[in-house]
Amino acid sequence: MVQAAGHGCAEQANGLFIKPTNSTEINFYTSMSALDSPLTDLMPNFLGTLAETKTNSNESNSTNTSLSTPVLDSSLSEQSCIVLEDLCEAFEDPAVLDIKIGSVLYDSHASEGKKQRMDKVSQATTSGSLHFRIAGMSLIIGGNRIHYGKDFGREATIENVASRISEFFKPLTSEYKEYILELSIGYLQQLEKILNEVKIEMHSSSVLFIYENNMEKLKSKFEHINSTGNESMKYDMNLQLKNKVQIMDMRIIDFAHSQCAETIDNDCLVGVRNVISAFESISSGTRPRYEINK
């Protein structure tokens, strides 16, 4: 998987994405699956964990690594690996944008030192003012892959963050850009609806956007989807599934600090609504109308 931010130790193979994680993230995936939460529709497919087990005998010690589907277990090793679908597998050359949502970047278990550090990051960036921040971006322009690091997002302001997000669509023609923006907004609105219903608490989770950055492949996919001839369904994201062709995808990821809660997560909801405003402003060419935390 092409990385837009973080996961430096993650691996991919045979359509799988494997990354080190903690028991909190494993339990969150397991809980959402057990509850049949609508949020799972926008989460990566959860395939289980890679657990290392050691067996001792008088003759030898051996280590066995196997894929297993976990149960809720707060004692899971902090070094456990989670196995997910590789979201980039469906794309020849994926362009990837990672947007971190929420203004509180730590959970209740964080040390006072970490809380202070993360509060400073939030206050100094759009995480604090807009409840979202660009975490990273990777795309191909002129045949070269360009990576935008964390400073690209940390240096963004209320005034220019939408402009910085628009860089993500730079390789696209106006027609492809419009199509992918409409699909992205549709996914975001679906996420907003779900977050208005599901009682969870998320910190430092991200919304990940991916689109086909290979222009020849994109053209072929675009023509295939639009061969339905139904103009009114042009921007229906379900057409991708019906035609078994993926032009773009959006998922919510990173749940190392997430859990079920008694209420909905208003912090993340404001962030998602502001991301929608940014995308709509890029599409319409108008100024975004944010909910600003002053």
pLDDT tens digits along 202-247: 999 999 999 999 999 999 988 887 776 544 444 555 666 555 678 9
Bridge partner list, 82: 19, 49
Tell me what pLDDT residue 241 has: 59
Q: How far apart are CA 206 and CA 215, in angstroms?
A: 26
Query: At residue 148, does pLDDT exceed 60?
Result: yes
Query: At residue 62, does pLDDT exceed 50?
Result: no
Provide, rounded to the nearest whole percent, the portion of the chain with pLDDT above 90: 74
pLDDT tens digits along 103-134: 999 998 999 999 999 999 999 999 999 999 99
Tell me what pLDDT residue 229 has: 53
Residue 204: which of 292, 124, 280, 115 has the closest Cα?
115
Residue range 51-80: average pLDDT? 47
pLDDT tens digits along 172-189: 999 999 999 999 999 999
Q: How far apart are CA 141 and CA 150, in angstroms?
A: 19
Residue range 57-73: average pLDDT? 44
Query: At residue 78, does pLDDT exceed 60?
Result: no
Of the ranges 28-37, 62-71, 159-168, 239-248, which one carries the lowest mean pLDDT score? 62-71
What is the overall mean pLDDT for the chain?
86
Q: How far apart are CA 278 and CA 294, in angstroms?
A: 18
Tell me what pLDDT residue 139 has: 97
Of the ranges 44-48, 69-73, 93-97, 163-167, which one carries the lowest mean pLDDT score? 69-73
pLDDT tens digits along 85-104: 999 999 999 999 999 999 99
Q: How far apart are CA 52 and CA 81, in angstroms?
A: 9
CB-based contacts of 32-38 (< 8 A; 24+ apart in sequence):
34/72, 35/260, 37/198, 38/194, 38/197, 38/198
Contact present, 198 and 39 (Cβ < 8 Å): yes
pLDDT tens digits along 9-37: 567 677 899 999 999 999 999 999 999 99
Tell me what pLDDT residue 10 has: 61
Q: Which residues lie below 8 Å from residue 39, measured CB to CB, with a gap of 6+? A: 32, 194, 195, 198, 200, 252
Tell me what pLDDT residue 146 has: 97
Residue range 151-157: average pLDDT? 97
Residue range 252-268: average pLDDT? 97
Tell me what pLDDT residue 80 has: 84
Tell me what pLDDT residue 6 has: 52
Q: Which part of the chain is CATH 3.30.470.160?
A: 94-284
Residue for token pair 């009114």: 232
Q: How far apart are CA 48 and CA 65, in angstroms?
A: 13
pLDDT band at 71 (very low <50, low <70, confident <90, very high): very low
Return the CATH architecture of domain 94-284.
2-Layer Sandwich (3.30)
Tell me what pLDDT residue 53 has: 45
